[in-house]
Amino acid sequence: MGLGSSQWRVFARKEEVKNRLPVLLASFVVTFLFVYRPSMSATPGGEITEAEAAIRKADADWAAAASTASVDAWMGYYAADAIVMAPNVQIASTPERVRQTVTNLLALPALSVAWHPIKVEVATSGDLGYLIGAYELRYDDARGAHVSDQGKLLEIWKKQSDGSWKCIVDTWNSDGLAAAAQAASPASAHGRLTTAVSVSPPPGANSVTSSQSSAQALSSEYGEMPTQYEEAIRQYFQQYLKDPDSVRYQEITKPEKGSATTVTGTILMRETRLRGWTVKATIDAKNAHGVYVGYRTYTFLFRGEKIIHTASPLGEDEMK
């Protein structure tokens, strides 16, 4: 049974107040379209068919423009009052937040994004429609590892006064498991580090062959234990502190087997476990105002002589 024009006027009134209630609007749209699943009937003159074709073309042009990684090109397919609900980030209901969300997505290293429509339907009024589709996203994480993600998307399109079609609600989410951890701020902790627990070998496994195998396995899992770690840590503070010459060292511990849990990605976050050797450095240093901030402990994860991860309590007024 077709959806009457009076019902769609109710939908339109809901859409007009989305700047005040963006979350409720999105919930209303999804519920209305998927629970009632209206059968759209064409109006005289084939306006619905034309509108569906226009939405499909606009979406195809948008997908093609995405390969350019141009924020302006992407934003050109959104209405001025568009709402974007990307995974693992806050709802973007202002032009500034929408642009920042798009910028973060397109800034992913080695990004490749593609999507295609599965279903498009248009209201009997001919000026509002939705598109359901599937996407595939590929990029490199912070360590250069390849990440691939697939999922589904929902777009709500509205015909503008100039006859063009713009997306007013854009949301997508992954088919995979969502990362449980939240991304850490670069100015605070860069992750969670833990010290590994050593396990004693079983009785009878003390042969030379067993010892060599254990040593090889340990090196493969944690890397070589660093020997020049103190110098590497001092160089780190020289590079990142506002006033590196003011540093007072209280303690630099010896390396211990450890690991770090990192979260990479901005839009699609992924949790990774890094293994290596943890070293803690407790220091005091002056901030940008020339004031000592008090002793704080920084934790470094080494793999060989290289620092691969840091957990730092540095504040913005202490960093370069």
Domain 5-174 indexed as CATH 2.60.40.10? no
Average pLDDT of the residues in 300-316: 84
pLDDT value at residue 212? 53
The tens digit of pLDDT for each residue in 203-244 reads: 444 544 445 555 555 567 899 999 999 999 999 999 989 899
Q: How far apart are CA 169 and CA 130, in angstroms?
A: 9
The tens digit of pLDDT for each residue in 240-280 reads: 898 999 999 999 999 999 998 776 555 656 667 889 999 99
Average pLDDT of the residues in 141-158: 87
Which has the closest alpha carbon to 125: 282, 242, 8? Answer: 8
pLDDT value at residue 181? 35
Residue 109 in contact with residue 101, Cβ under 8 Å?
no
Looking at this protein, which amino acid is placed at residue 111?
L
The pTM of this model reads: 0.50
Between the two ends of the chain, the Cα-to-Cα distance in Å is: 65
Look at 184-198, 252-266, 274-288 and tell me which has the smallest mean pLDDT: 184-198
Q: How far apart are CA 134 and CA 59, in angstroms?
A: 12
More confident residue, 37 or 88: 88
Where in the chain are the domains?
5-174, 192-311
